[in-house]
Amino acid sequence: MKEKDAGMRIRVERELRDEFLKVCREQDRPAAQAIREFMREYIAAKKSERAGRTERFGTTPVAPKGAE
């Protein structure tokens, strides 16, 4: 695994944060791990979009631009 040497600070609604942390705890997963996974999936979906393929991101299909 690569060394983690950068951080991010974001502002979100308290309710969103609390719900997110609750779900992470229920899955026995650190919130940071879930966010990193989300980021990797998002990047992969956007790269596929740029390549002209339709990918699924989470439960939402990500269609190429102009295909909506």
Tell me the pTM. 0.69
Give the model's pLDDT for residue 19: 98
Coil/strand/helix, residue 24: helix
Average of per-residue pLDDT across 7-31: 97
Nearest partner of 60 among 46, 50, 51, 52, judged by Cα: 46
Tokens read off for 14: 């308290």
The whole-number pLDDT of residue 52 equals 84
Q: Which of 33, 31, 25, 27 is nearest to 4 (CA)?
A: 33
Name the 3-class secondary structure at 38: helix
| Average pLDDT across the chain, whole number | 86
In this model, does residue 62 exceed pLDDT 70? no
Which pLDDT band, with edges at 50, 70 and 90, does 3 fall under?
Answer: confident
Average pLDDT of the residues in 3-30: 96
